[in-house]
Chains A and B, each alone.
Chain A
Amino acid sequence: MAKKNLSKQKKMDTRVNFTPMVDMMMLLITFFMLCTTLAKPQAMQLTMPSNDDTSKLNDEQKQVTKASHTVTLYLGSNDKVWYIAGLPNYADPSCVKETTYGKNGIEKVLNEHTTEEGVNPVAKIKLAKKELDAKKNEYNSKMTDEQYQEALKKLKKGELPNGEKVPALTVIIRPLNTATYENMVAALDEMLISNIDKYVIDNVDKLSEDDKALIEKAGVK
């Protein structure tokens, strides 16, 4: 009899409550999500000329660059920005014009800058780059990264794919001491957007007296 009693086992509920485990998992996941950096920060490559030969380099560039191929940007306080298209006319402060950062400001100025040859190099190069990008991204495109970089390099020098040669602009960026770091990055950003390879960040403390007088008169601060 006793044997029979033993064999008649009670059916146990073998389901385990997972709710606490799920709670804990949730907590852990939240922790990892908050502590991780999935999106790695971007970087901007900047190559500055060596301090020793800055002046020499500038003189060389001044010789090879035509007046109408130059744009000078002055970055001032309170996110203000001024530009001079071409060489400054020291007698006339109105050659310094105010603009803004962004699409309708500097980008437009650079885009619409017409050189003495009567072309808008930035707009033309931008258009050509768009075509190049489309070619690169199109379905089953056979273009390698190297070929793309090669083509891009040529474009930035002003050699368009249809054989036309446009002058490449030179931009002189002069952040005043009152500007912020953000302003400088914004200006460098415009160079990237407008595919301008030739740009210099100039030290305003080493400006010539004429330049200093000009920006003083034009109200750049």
Chain B
Amino acid sequence: MAKIKIQKKDIWIDMTPMSDVMTLLLCFFMLTSTFLTPEPVSVTAPNSVSELKIPEQDVLNVLVTPEGKVFCGTENKNNMQAMLDEMTDKFGVQLNPTQVKHFREDAMVGAPMAQLAQYLSLEPEKMGEAIQKLGLPLDSIKGGKSEFQEWVSAARNVNPDIKIAIKCDSKTPYASIKKLMSELQDMSENRFQLITNLDVKRLND
């Protein structure tokens, strides 16, 4: 019995077209991507049928967690810096250059002014953890504006065209959001946008 001799075949596959396609895809994603801005606490927005898009610039993001903690920030770092300067002047807080650098790296403000310097001197790794326990106070200071309102008016002073977008978790009690909205109303900020996810199912119903 003669053994059947299997011919050895070269199983080399040409990967060049695949790599071409990959490069194209990669370029597409790199050019179209806008990076997710890290949020101190992850928040799930409720669904709605509204198809309005939020603008890309001049937006003051207000984040409300399920516990009712409030954070705010804007995507323009220079504006954030100007807001910080205004706030530190008003509250008489001194920050060193390292702390300011940390502030610029942070996406949102959440530390009360009394704890701001201490929070910003933490290591960047620990800041993410620490900010979850903080949050801007909504209580008015000696009958005047609250710290949150001060931040909003600082943002308004720095950029008069700024629009307020509220991103609130769907499980946040209404009482918290009511307090927030009434504080905004008190300072005549009556128009704001509520960030929602598109409810495609309901839209097509």
Cα A161 to Cα B18 with chains together (Å):
57
Q: Which residue of chain B has the shortest Cβ distance to A40 in the bound complex? A: B53
For B181, give its contact among A28, A48, A186 (CB under 8 Å). A48
Asked if B78 is an interface residue, CB under 8 A from chain A, the answer is no
Given contacts A43-B194, A48-B181, A181-B177, contact A25 B36 (CB under 8 A): no
Q: Which residues of A contact B177 (CB under 8 A)?
A: 181, 184
Please give, as numbers and ranges, the residues of chain A lying within 8 Å of B196 by CB-CB distance.
41-44, 185
Contacts of A38 in B (CB 8 A): 32-33
Does B195 contact A41, Cβ atoms closer than 8 Å? yes
Of the candidate stretches A1-9, A92-100, A144-152, A171-179, the one touching chain B is: A171-179
Interface size on B, residues (CB 8 A): 59
Q: How many angstroms from the CA of A49 to the CA of B114 in the assembled complex?
A: 33
> Could you tell me if B22 and A43 are in contact, using CB atoms closer than 8 angstroms?
no
Grouping DSSP codes into helix (H, G, I), strand (E, B) and loop, the A interface class, with mixed when no group exceeds half, is mixed
Give how many A residues have a beta carbon under 8 Å from the other chain's beta carbons: 49
Determine how close the nearest CB of chain B comes to the CB of A191; give it in whole angstroms.
Answer: 10
Which of A32, A35, A178, A193 has the most C-beta atoms of chain B within 10 angstroms of its own C-beta? A32
Query: How far is it, in angstroms, between the C-alpha of A182 and the C-alpha of B165 when the chains are bound?
Result: 16
Contact present for B48 and A181 (CB under 8 Å):
no
B12 at interface (Cβ–Cβ under 8 A)? Answer: yes
A19–B16 CA distance with the chains assembled, in angstroms: 9
B121 at the interface (CB under 8 A from A): no
Distance between Cα atoms of A46 and B22 in the complex (Å): 43
Are A192 and B49 in contact (CB-based, < 8 A)?
Answer: yes
Evaluate contact between B30 and A181: CB separation under 8 angstroms.
Answer: no
- The 8 A CB mask of B12-34 against A (1 = contact, 0 = none) is 10111011001101100110111
What is the CB-to-nearest-CB distance from A24 to chain B, in angstroms, rounded to a whole number? 9
- A36: chain B residues within 8 A (beta carbon): 29, 32-36
Is B198's CB within 8 Å of the partner chain A?
yes
Q: Which residues of A contact B49 (CB under 8 A)?
A: 189, 192-193
Instruction: Determine whether the beta carbon of B35 is less than 8 Å from that of A185.
Output: no
B→A interface (CB under 8 Å): 12, 14-16, 18-19, 22-23, 25-26, 29-30, 32-36, 45-54, 64, 165, 167-178, 181-182, 184-186, 188, 190-199, 202, 205
Q: A42-B197, A181-B174 are in contact. List 4 more A-B contacts (CB 8 A).
A: A29-B25, A32-B30, A46-B194, A189-B199
20 contacts between A and B (CB under 8 A): A18-B15, A42-B51, A42-B195, A42-B197, A43-B50, A44-B194, A45-B50, A48-B192, A50-B188, A175-B178, A177-B174, A180-B173, A181-B172, A181-B173, A181-B177, A183-B174, A186-B48, A188-B194, A193-B49, A193-B202
